[in-house]
Structures are given as C-alpha cells and as structure tokens.
Amino acid sequence: MTIAAFLAYCLALGIAAAIPGPGIIALVGRALGSDFRSSLTFLVGLALGDVFYLMAACFGLSLLAEVLGDVFTVIRYGAAAYLLYLAIRLWRASGDKLVVAESVREKPLASMLSGFAVTLANPKTIFFYLALLPTLIDLRAIDGMDISVLAVVSFAIVYIALLPYAALAARARYFLRTPRALKRMNRGAAAILAGAALWTASRGT
C-alpha cells in the first residue's frame, strides 16, 4: 500500500464519515436522550461497524456473509428493538433530569451493539467500503500489516469525525434546564431513536 493511496483513503473516509446519515442521526438522538458519556459506547459500536466492513472488503464479503449472515441479522433486529425500547422510555420520561438519567441507564455492551448494527445497515457505509474503497487501494496488494493499520486508522477517523455530533447534541441538552424544555427534548430524541430503530430493522427486507 502506497503512502498516496493511504492518504487518499483517510481523506475520503473522513469526508464520508462526517456527512450526516443514519448513523449520525441515531447518535444525535442517543446523545440528546441521555448525555455525552453514555453516547460514547454507541459511537464505539458505529466505528466498529466500519472496521467490520473494511475487513469484509479485504477478505471477501461473500465469505463473511455466508458464515455470519444469520448472526448479524439477529444483531440488527436486536439493535432495532433496543433503540425502540429506549425511545419508549424517553417518550415516557418526565422533565426531571434525574428521572431522565435513570430512564436511559443502560449496559455499555447493549449500546455498543446497537451502534454496530446501525452501521451494518447503513448503505452509505456499504457503498464506501465495497464500491469506493477498491478504487482507492489495491486490495490484492495489501498484507496483514496494512490491514491492521487500516483497521486502527479507520476506527480513529470515524470516531473523531462523529464525536463532535455527540458532544454538540449533549451540550444542547445541557442548556435546556426547564422541565418543559427537557420533556420536549426527550420526545424529540425518542422520535429520532424510533425512526433509527425502524430504519435499522427495514434494511434487511
């Protein structure tokens, strides 16, 4: 892998990751519905989804789809159900910050898997790794070290590109101090998460 190809890949991925899409919408909904810290594990899942598609492109998507297809179908529907569950809890939450925080408390693994599944169903991500990536890097000429470097760099780029969205959404929630404003924010976030849940579930149909 040449330096020029590597830099072109990093630039293209950074641009693609920063363009708003389903993953960013779900992340913003998650940050609005809870806080910055709790949205970070969701963001980790989103970035890991990119790494998965990178591996699929490097090693052959057809093989991975054959071996793991059913597993990721289960993960996708599970993540959709989980996002919908969070949406319902947020919708029913009051405008009290402590009540809201308690209503969206979750296990990090569940949050990470839901973010991972959202990326798996994201057509923007699929297009980038399976259509655009081969035009940037000769996948037949890379070795194990190249793939490892690409995986680490891809995770970092996606995480850094999406981090400001979560931070700004969480910051916006911080300034909404009145119960009435918080309740409206909760329901807006709930609507976003419900939409992300339905979108995630429908990607396999």
Residues of the chain with pLDDT under 70: 33-35, 60-76, 79, 82-83, 86, 89-106, 173-190, 192-193, 196-197, 199-201, 203-205
Domain membership of residue 20 (yes or no) is no
Q: How many domains does the chain have?
A: 1
What is residue 96's predicted lDDT score, i.e. its pLDDT?
46
What is residue 63's predicted lDDT score, i.e. its pLDDT?
53
- Per-residue pLDDT of 86-112, as tens digits, reads 677 666 655 444 444 444 556 778 788
For residue 77, how far is the Cα from the chain centroid?
Answer: 15
In terms of C-beta density within 10 A (0-12 exposed, 13-18 middle, 19 or more buried), how is residue 135 classed?
exposed
Structural domain boundaries enclosing 136? 34-202
- Per-residue pLDDT of 44-71, as tens digits, reads 999 999 998 898 888 765 555 555 556 6
Q: Dihedrals φ, ψ of 94, to 5°?
A: -85, -175
Reported residue count of the chain is 205
Q: What's the pTM?
A: 0.69
The angle formed by the CA atoms of residues 180, 23 and 88, to the nearest 5 degrees, is 40
What is residue 159's predicted lDDT score, i.e. its pLDDT?
94
Domain membership of residue 192 (yes or no) is yes
What is residue 117's predicted lDDT score, i.e. its pLDDT?
81
Domain membership of residue 3 (yes or no) is no
From the list 173, 160, 50, 71, the residue with the least C-alpha distance to 115 is 50
Domain membership of residue 12 (yes or no) is no
